[in-house]
A and B are shown apart, each in its own frame.
Chain A
């Protein structure tokens, strides 16, 4: 590489050198060149001035009560998350309860009807028919409850 090319190359590295962003090899190359090149030394000094200035910029004041407002928002969000977890737990528990009730009714219905309750050609107290019907009912109820809870959550979020 010619001396001119080397100078041009090094000149392009001076800003990064002042920012401490060169690797060891680049840094060594630059130092060797700068020992002989007054123009690059002068440029490096200017870039160092920028680096130093950037490290000492006026600091923005933090808004009043920002910490307090953040803490309040975190507490609200924490409470909302706890509510969500509770809602989900309740939803699961209710679904389980409904399924258990459905199963109990099946036993009772079998005893009362003697194992046969035919409506429109289908035996309603057959285990398959009964469990399919009660499962559909339970999941429909759970879906309606989940939609209602979701709406409530969105309203709460808007209010936060």
Chain B
């Protein structure tokens, strides 16, 4: 749904207009841009840092940095990639500052007990009487398990997965966000998928499908 809104040509031109107005210092435009990207940015940060409080703080810091640096933003560049790269750099700074860690080491050991990020219970997502209710419940449970397995992966792998599959970014854009070569993104993506599958198969003895 978020992606569909992002792909809508009218919404896209509205976003470009808001970004252009934001560059001219229009405070209303800034609100419009934050409102447009809030879900995606927060989701990206939460996948990256895993802790809601840190994601919340980084979300705010990202917009402060955007406001500070918007004059230097090259309008020919994709705004989303730029926004996510700002968030990525702040997350790295935050890790360095807090624990002397880097993105490459952060989160190697995860909290296996957390079944995904959604706080909504499966049953709440079902509307009674629909013929595909059971199928939706199974889909939701599969999704929750997949999210939990992703949660256990190292941060660089969680990042590449969320950029590729949730943000639907091209590999070149993901490379721009993470500040690494394209070949590194490809190898991270492959390792992330393999790690995810191994984690899923460990949870589902005998089951091989996501």
- Please give the residue numbers on chain B whose beta carbons come within 8 Å of chain A beta carbons, in ascending order: 2, 27, 30-31, 34-35, 38-39, 42-43, 46, 52, 56, 59-60, 63-64, 67, 116-120, 139-140, 142-144, 146-147, 150, 161, 164-166, 168, 171, 186, 189-190, 193-194, 196-197, 200, 208-210
In whole angstroms, how far apart are the Cα atoms of A63 and B47 in the complex? 14
**A46 near B208: Cβ-Cβ < 8 Å:** yes
What residue in chain B is nearest A54 (Cβ atoms)? B165
- The contact sample of 25 A-B pairs, CB cut-off 8 A, is A12-B190, A15-B189, A18-B193, A19-B165, A19-B189, A50-B197, A50-B200, A52-B210, A56-B139, A56-B143, A57-B117, A57-B147, A57-B150, A58-B140, A58-B143, A58-B147, A60-B46, A62-B39, A66-B42, A66-B59, A67-B38, A70-B63, A71-B31, A73-B64, A78-B27
In whole angstroms, how far apart are the Cα atoms of A32 and B113 in the complex? 42
A142 within 8 A of B: no
- Please give the residue numbers on chain A whose beta carbons come within 8 Å of chain B beta carbons, in ascending order: 12, 15-16, 18-19, 21, 46-47, 49-63, 66-67, 69-71, 73-74, 77-78
Q: Is the interface of B mostly helix, strand, loop or mixed?
A: helix
**A50 near B210: Cβ-Cβ < 8 Å:** yes
In whole angstroms, how far apart are the Cα atoms of A61 and B39 in the complex? 8
CB contacts (< 8 Å) of A19 on chain B: these are: 164-165, 189, 193
In whole angstroms, how far apart are the Cα atoms of A59 and B47 in the complex? 10
**A58 near B144: Cβ-Cβ < 8 Å:** yes
CB contacts (< 8 Å) of B193 on chain A: these are: 15-16, 18-19, 47, 50
Most chain B CB atoms below 10 A, which of A51, A58, A78: A58
In whole angstroms, how far apart are the Cα atoms of A46 and B193 in the complex? 11
In whole angstroms, how far apart are the Cα atoms of A58 and B143 in the complex? 6
CB contacts (< 8 Å) of B56 on chain A: these are: 63, 66
CB contacts (< 8 Å) of A54 on chain B: these are: 146, 150, 161, 164-166, 196, 210
Q: In the complex, given contacts A21-B171, A57-B165, A70-B60, what are 8 additional A-B residue pairs having Cβ atoms less than 8 angstroms apart? A: A16-B189, A56-B143, A59-B2, A62-B39, A66-B38, A71-B31, A74-B67, A77-B64
Partner of B118, one of A15, A60, A71: A60
CB contact under 8 A between A16 and B190, given known A59-B39, A71-B34 = yes
Write the nearest CB–CB distance from A25 to chain B, whole angstroms. 14
Write the nearest CB–CB distance from B197 to chain A, whole angstroms. 6
CB contacts (< 8 Å) of B52 on chain A: these are: 60, 63
What residue in chain B is nearest A45 (Cβ atoms)? B209
CB contacts (< 8 Å) of B2 on chain A: these are: 59
CB contacts (< 8 Å) of A21 on chain B: these are: 164, 171, 186, 189
